[in-house]
Amino acid sequence: MTQYQAARAGEITPEMEYVAKRENLAPETIREEVAAGRMVIPANRVHLSKRLEPMAIGIAATCKINANIGNSAVTGDVEAELEKLHTSVHYGADTVMDLSTGKDIDRIRQAIIDASPVPIGTVPIYQMLEELGGNIEDMRPQHFLDMVEHQAKQGVDYMTVHAGVMMEHLPLTMNRVTGIVSRGGSLIAKWMMAHRQQNPLYTHFGELCEIMREYDVTWSLGDGLRPGSIADASDAAQFAELEVLGELVKKSWEYGTQAMVEGPGHIPMHEVQMNVQKEIEVCHGAPFYVLGPLVTDVAPGYDHITSAIGAALAGWAGAAMLCYVTPKEHLGLPNKEDVKQGVIAYKIAAHAADIARRRPGAQDRDNALSRARFAFDWNEQFRLALDPDTARAYHDETLPQDTFKSAHFCSMCGPKYCSMKITEDIRKMAQEGSLVEIEAGGD
């Protein structure tokens, strides 16, 4: 049985127990959420038998983040990708997608799955295309089914499949500023154009469900027509595909499989909440897994920031998982440092969203860090930071480490202008009696 089937049958699985502890929620709440389709536990049986630590993605859980790694034809090997995996997990990625499209795809994926305690996602069409020699027109539905089965056997926990892009959607994309920006979406579109036939991933969705069910692979229903620019945000093509994704969510549940839905992309701030609400409505509450979104297009090189703004808004509005964007987005394949920058920006976004949604305990770490800050307990402040090493290095850059580590100031203000030091003085004065007179109106 899949987690979904077990939940529907009223059964609390060991994985539900496990994530209940991680989320500080009752096991029955987890079961209810999974049964309602509002939560997924991406845990392929094969990966579960290795070192996977089950986690949950859903609106009732804390907001999650995903890091995309993987090589391209231009750059990346097994060792580099394993390093990116370790960096991702170290800084707090909740899931990792291996989007390799270059050499050694199979070996890289197996190494990543074997090494990873977090769920691994893939986009099976990439490897299928590699094996076809690069011409998407040569694809037959069986090629895709075989590749999904192959990757499921390897232990992939969730897969992005672009089954919602329909032939009749393509005219809606022709006048877009940036066309189709999903790699899988554009490949399927090209296949449909060449064959003048409907999306084979849509027409074979039931067969795909049967494979997914066998291994309990979770659907990540790809948004092949997501907008790739602010100009194309929230357009007819995007929402036409979303309707199909809603239909596929229902179908995936009928087959007993777990499903989440992928979302945009590039969305201006004032349309983010509407996009999340619309997905929840159209897709029957299935967890929304958004890519950013970027809230402006003008800052290539800084798209971890342009998108962290949109991601925080999306998480606040109810998106269940935020797919990171690195500083290299639109420019090149991220390296290890880019992965780190992307993960940290998204930990910030997800955490800010947890606070804004008032998830229980979300603010505890903020409060602890602020208390350490006020007490000039620099070591504790660094320990509680998302990136202790960087915080410490920045502090030490302008104050010699040995002499000033316990100083009641930093180089920003120096000793005379530290407001927290002055507050200490004020509180001391208050204890000595001045405050009583002030409360009585001063003299």
Site residues for a second copy, 173-202, by CB under 8 A, read 173-174, 177-183, 185-187, 189-190, 192-194, 196-198
In whole angstroms, how close is the CB of 213 to a second copy at the nearest point?
A: 29
Q: Which helix (H) or strand (E) holds 97?
A: strand 95-98
Q: Which two tokens stand for residue 205?
A: 């969705």
Q: Assess 330 for contact with a second copy (CB under 8 A).
A: yes
Q: Is 111 or 167 the residue whose CB approaches a second copy more closely?
A: 167
Q: Is 286 or 372 the residue whose CB approaches a second copy more closely?
A: 372
Q: Is 30 or 291 the residue whose CB approaches a second copy more closely?
A: 291
Rounded CA separation 374/157 (Å) = 43
Q: Which stretch binds a second copy (CB under 8 A): 40-48, 79-87, 113-121, 265-273?
A: 265-273
Residue from 228, 163, 217, 234 nearest 2 by CA:
217
Three-state SS at 220? strand
Q: Assess 344 for contact with a second copy (CB under 8 A).
A: yes
Single residue of 327, 339, 342, 376 touching a second copy by CB under 8 A: 327
In whole angstroms, how close is the CB of 330 to a second copy at the nearest point?
A: 7
Residues 36-65 that bind a second copy (CB under 8 A): none
Q: Is 45 or 190 the residue whose CB approaches a second copy more closely?
A: 190
Q: Assess 384 for contact with a second copy (CB under 8 A).
A: yes
The DSSP 8-state label assigned to residue 217 in this structure reads P
Q: Which helix (H) or strand (E) holds 364?
A: helix 364-374
Per-residue contact flags (x/-) with a second copy for residues 134 to 163, judged by CB under 8 A: x-----------------------------
**Residue 123 phi, psi (nearest 5):** -125, 95
What's the farthest any 2 CA atoms get from each other in the chain?
90
Q: Is 78 or 99 the residue whose CB approaches a second copy more closely?
A: 99
In whole angstroms, how close is the CB of 152 to a second copy at the nearest point?
A: 22
Residues 68-107 that bind a second copy (CB under 8 A): 72-75, 101-102
Single-letter code of the amino acid located at 38:
R
Size of the site for a second copy (CB under 8 A): 128
User: Is residue 255 within 8 Å of residue 237, measured between CB atoms?
Assistant: no
Rounded CA separation 424/143 (Å) = 69
Q: Using CA of residue 52, residue 53, residue 57, residue 62, what is the dihedral sign?
A: negative
Strands 64-69 and 39-40: unpaired
